[in-house]
Structure 1
Amino acid sequence: MKKVGLYFGTFNPIHIGHLVIANHMAEYSDLDEIWFVVTPVSPFKKKKNLLANNHRYEMVYLATKDYPKLQPSKIEFDLPEPNYTINTLVHLDEKYGDGYSFSLIMGEDNLKGFHKWKNYEVILENHEIFVYPRLSEGKIEHQFESHPKIHRVNAPIMEISSTFIRKAHNEGKNIRPMLPEPVWVYLDEMNFYR
Structure 2
Amino acid sequence: MTKYEAQIVPLNDTKIGTSAHGTATFLEENDKLTITIEMFDTPANTEHWEHFHGFPDGKDAAISTIDQDTNLDGFVDLMETEAVSGTTMVAFDDAPENIDIPHDRYPVSDANGHFSYTQVVPLSTLQANFEKAFGSKDLQLDKRVIYIHGVPASLELPATVAGMVGDFDAHVTLPIAVGKIKRVD
Judge same fold: TM > 0.5, yes or no. no
- TM-score (norm. length: structure 2): 0.23
| Larger relative contact order (Cα-Cα within 8 Å, sequence gap ≥ 6) | 2
- TM-score (norm. length: structure 1): 0.22
The answer to which structure has the higher strand fraction is 2
The answer to which structure has the higher helix fraction is 1
